[in-house]
A and B are shown apart, each in its own frame.
Chain A
Amino acid sequence: MGRITLDKVSKSFGDVEVIPPLDLTIEDGDFTVFVGPSGCGKSTLLRLIAGLEDTSGGHIRIDSQDATHVPPAKRGLAMVFQSYALYPHMSVRKNIAFPMKMAGVSEEEQRRRIDAAAKALNLTDYLDRRPGQLSGGQRQRVAIGRAIVREPAAFLFDEPLSNLDAALRVGMRLEISELHKRLRTTMIYVTHDQVEAMTMADKIVVLRAGHIEQVGSPLELYRAPRNTFVAGFIGSPKMNLIEGPEAAKHGAHTIGVRPEHIDVVEENGIWQGTVGVAEHLGSDTFFHIHNTGLTDTLTVRALGEVTLSHGDTIHLSPRAEQIHKFDAQGLRIE
């Protein structure tokens, strides 16, 4: 079991309030991702849940037990740190065994769990090496192994993939997702990368300056962002946000259209502009378009290989039903 409830939890460092009072429930078995720009308080929130920071106010409940003042080791949570935080002078085996040794698990049980974790994480051949002799991805797996053997109520990940190269990141992303599917344990995952959030999460929590901007499944956030911040943050490339007369036509202060919801047409487009940079990915082409009279740069996705080049005039039609409308406060208008 691993249901985590935050009730008016807040955190200040000195005079600086990093997390204003905040309510959040993380359901048992969910893969929840905290996403937001750097410095918005994601790590702080995770560390509050872990017990590595003391709350300035509010209550944290784990499985309906008040854990606000319970020391980290007693909360039954396991954390994977950004720097992996492996113990450099211990072998991989000893690293993974460490939490069990501290908990007084029998030698035999330790060996059983280490072998199982090593097999699941492809670490069997590396058990006698030291962390310094492993690659980044392997270290990551050791850190996960050390978390798994504790059989925690929930896993906490703090940007675990940000030290890996792009290819490895994609691979590890899948491995962590698969691990979650297999274990069905609550996982809280912190990242600033909205792609990781979208691909892994059951539930995304978008944070800005310690505030929760929106909570929902990836598709809910994609389809109905509650405000312009979430609209701009979720989705890649970013949603085009347009203000001024064009927005007024739709009765809004700001309208948002995702690049994939604008069609490139031969002529008679609603909008037109000149092609700036074109990014050819093969399956898609992203055009950055100038001189539309709407925004500085409008991003448009065209399917497949489109042969328009720099300086060409392009005709565009946004799909009317996919236009998001926001009021002057940036809130969504239904």
Chain B
Amino acid sequence: MATQNSRSAARLMMAPAVILLLGWMLVPLVMTLLFSFKKYLPLRGGDLGWVGFDNYVRFVTSSAFWPSVSATLIIVGGVLAITVGLGVLLAILLNQPMWGQGIVRILVISPFFVMPTVSALVWKNMFMDPVNGLFAHLWKFFGAAPVEWLSQASLQSIILIVSWQWLPFATLILLTAIQSLDREQLEAAEMDGAAPLQRFGYITLPHLGRAITVVVLIQTIFLLGIFAEIFVTTQGSFGTRTLTYLIYQRVLESQNVGLGSAGGVYAIILANIIAIFLMRMVGKNLDK
């Protein structure tokens, strides 16, 4: 693509894709911005005109706002900690030569193929149900009173469900990273007198640094927007109302599109703050 001719041809060829992508991204964004400055109540009068920053002020000052931000961060943080921690352990385990390795690997990865709605329903009804759930039976077997998971430990339950879904992803990425670790490095460390845990800390973990940042980055992007898991379990009650869920409630339950859009803009800002923070981290890790 060196000549003038081929360059302009290339631009022409790429134009449809670029225009489609731009439209895809820009139209909803611009509409969200537009609505966020309007009082727009579809079932109660429709478009009631411009209101400036009213929606923004109302969204932040509502008593639900800060709890929703903290719920979002707790869920994202919790899931990240669990998936990265267990992911590293599982990756190390799966990297050991063992019988039936292929099948075990597929089993470990399979939760990723289950749709979020389905997995949340399965967890809710089969495991966490206080009467018929497997956990309830287990608790009763040991003579304890069954826990009402989704009301008594609601955030933890959601974190558990979402972690179960994302653990395969983390494991997969970390497994490929661990497979690329030079065996001679571990052997050199062994000869240098490093015990197994020291080899893990000084050699394996730094080697995984890059993969861990990638996992954290990608998962954060998706976890900031989890919805189905909350929708089919707690419906946002018991302190599980995340920012996404709050916006959903404002738009669809309260039928206040303007207020919801303002919330959407806040969500974009929050996501960007986290993204910048993470990019810094990744950048530092990728430079090495």
B22-50 to A contact mask, C-beta < 8 Å, 1/0: 00000000000000000000000000000
Among B192, B202, B203, which residue has the most Cβ atoms of chain A within 10 A?
B192
In contact, B185 and A73 (Cβ under 8 angstroms): no
B66 to chain A, nearest CB (A): 39
Inter-chain CA distance A77–B191, complex, in Å, is 8
In contact, B206 and A52 (Cβ under 8 angstroms): no
Give chain B residues whose Cβ lies under 8 Å from the Cβ of A150.
192
Give chain A residues whose Cβ lies under 8 Å from the Cβ of B189.
87, 98
Task: Decide if B148 is an interface residue (CB 8 Å cutoff).
Answer: no
Nearest CB in chain B to that of A130: its residue: B288
Inter-chain CA distance A21–B239, complex, in Å, is 70
Nearest CB in chain B to that of A102: its residue: B193
In contact, B184 and A85 (Cβ under 8 angstroms): yes
Task: Decide if A167 is an interface residue (CB 8 Å cutoff).
Answer: no
Give chain A residues whose Cβ lies under 8 Å from the Cβ of B202.
87, 98
In contact, A89 and B288 (Cβ under 8 angstroms): yes
Nearest CB in chain A to that of B209: its residue: A89
In contact, B187 and A98 (Cβ under 8 angstroms): no
In contact, A52 and B209 (Cβ under 8 angstroms): no
In contact, A72 and B182 (Cβ under 8 angstroms): no
Task: Decide if B226 is an interface residue (CB 8 Å cutoff).
Answer: no
Nearest CB in chain B to that of A156: its residue: B191
Task: Decide if B235 is an interface residue (CB 8 Å cutoff).
Answer: no
Give chain A residues whose Cβ lies under 8 Å from the Cβ of B194.
73, 98, 102
Inter-chain CA distance A99–B207, complex, in Å, is 19
In contact, B203 and A52 (Cβ under 8 angstroms): no
Interface residues of A in 51-110 (CB under 8 A from B): 51-52, 71-73, 77-79, 81-83, 85-89, 98-99, 102-103
In contact, A102 and B198 (Cβ under 8 angstroms): yes
Give chain A residues whose Cβ lies under 8 Å from the Cβ of B270.
none
Inter-chain CA distance A79–B188, complex, in Å, is 7
B210 to chain A, nearest CB (A): 10
The secondary-structure label for the interface of chain B is helix
Among A71, A73, A82, A86, which residue has the most Cβ atoms of chain B within 10 A?
A73
Interface residues of A in 91-143 (CB under 8 A from B): 98-99, 102-103, 130
Give the number of chain B interface residues (Cβ < 8 Å): 18
Nearest CB in chain B to that of A94: its residue: B202
Inter-chain CA distance A51–B206, complex, in Å, is 25
A160 to chain B, nearest CB (A): 12
In contact, A81 and B193 (Cβ under 8 angstroms): no
Q: Given known contacts A87-B203, A89-B288, A102-B198, is B185 in contact with A50 (CB within 8 Å)?
A: no
Task: Decide if A146 is an interface residue (CB 8 Å cutoff).
Answer: yes
Inter-chain CA distance A13–B55, complex, in Å, is 72
Give chain B residues whose Cβ lies under 8 Å from the Cβ of A73.
190-194
In contact, B198 and A85 (Cβ under 8 angstroms): no
Inter-chain CA distance A130–B206, complex, in Å, is 14
Give chain B residues whose Cβ lies under 8 Å from the Cβ of A81.
184, 187-188
Inter-chain CA distance A82–B184, complex, in Å, is 9
B186 to chain A, nearest CB (A): 9
Give chain B residues whose Cβ lies under 8 Å from the Cβ of A88.
185, 207, 288
Nearest CB in chain B to that of A71: its residue: B190
In contact, B184 and A72 (Cβ under 8 angstroms): no
A127 to chain B, nearest CB (A): 18
In contact, B192 and A146 (Cβ under 8 angstroms): yes
Give chain B residues whose Cβ lies under 8 Å from the Cβ of A146.
188, 192
Interface residues of A in 145-160 (CB under 8 A from B): 146, 150
Inter-chain CA distance A170–B90, complex, in Å, is 46
Interface residues of A in 39-54 (CB under 8 A from B): 50-52
Q: Given known contacts A83-B182, A89-B207, is B187 in contact with A52 (CB within 8 Å)?
A: yes
Nearest CB in chain B to that of A52: its residue: B187
Give chain B residues whose Cβ lies under 8 Å from the Cβ of A83.
182, 184
In contact, A87 and B185 (Cβ under 8 angstroms): yes
Give chain A residues whose Cβ lies under 8 Å from the Cβ of B288.
88-89, 130
Give chain A residues whose Cβ lies under 8 Å from the Cβ of B182.
83, 85
Inter-chain CA distance A87–B204, complex, in Å, is 10
In contact, B207 and A52 (Cβ under 8 angstroms): no
Inter-chain CA distance A78–B198, complex, in Å, is 18
Give chain B residues whose Cβ lies under 8 Å from the Cβ of A130.
288
B174 to chain A, nearest CB (A): 16
Inter-chain CA distance A190–B209, complex, in Å, is 34
In contact, B190 and A99 (Cβ under 8 angstroms): no
B196 to chain A, nearest CB (A): 11
In contact, A72 and B191 (Cβ under 8 angstroms): yes
A sample of 12 inter-chain contacts (CB < 8 A) reads A71-B190, A72-B187, A78-B191, A79-B187, A79-B191, A82-B184, A83-B184, A87-B189, A88-B185, A88-B288, A98-B189, A99-B192
Further pairs besides A85-B182, A102-B194: 4, Cβ < 8 Å: A73-B192, A79-B187, A87-B203, A87-B206
Seen from chain B, the residues whose Cβ lies within 8 Å of a Cβ on chain A are 182, 184-185, 187-194, 198, 202-203, 206-207, 209, 288
Seen from chain A, the residues whose Cβ lies within 8 Å of a Cβ on chain B are 50-52, 71-73, 77-79, 81-83, 85-89, 98-99, 102-103, 130, 146, 150
* 7 pairs of A and B residues whose beta carbons are closest in the complex: A99-B192, A102-B193, A73-B193, A85-B188, A85-B184, A89-B206, A81-B184
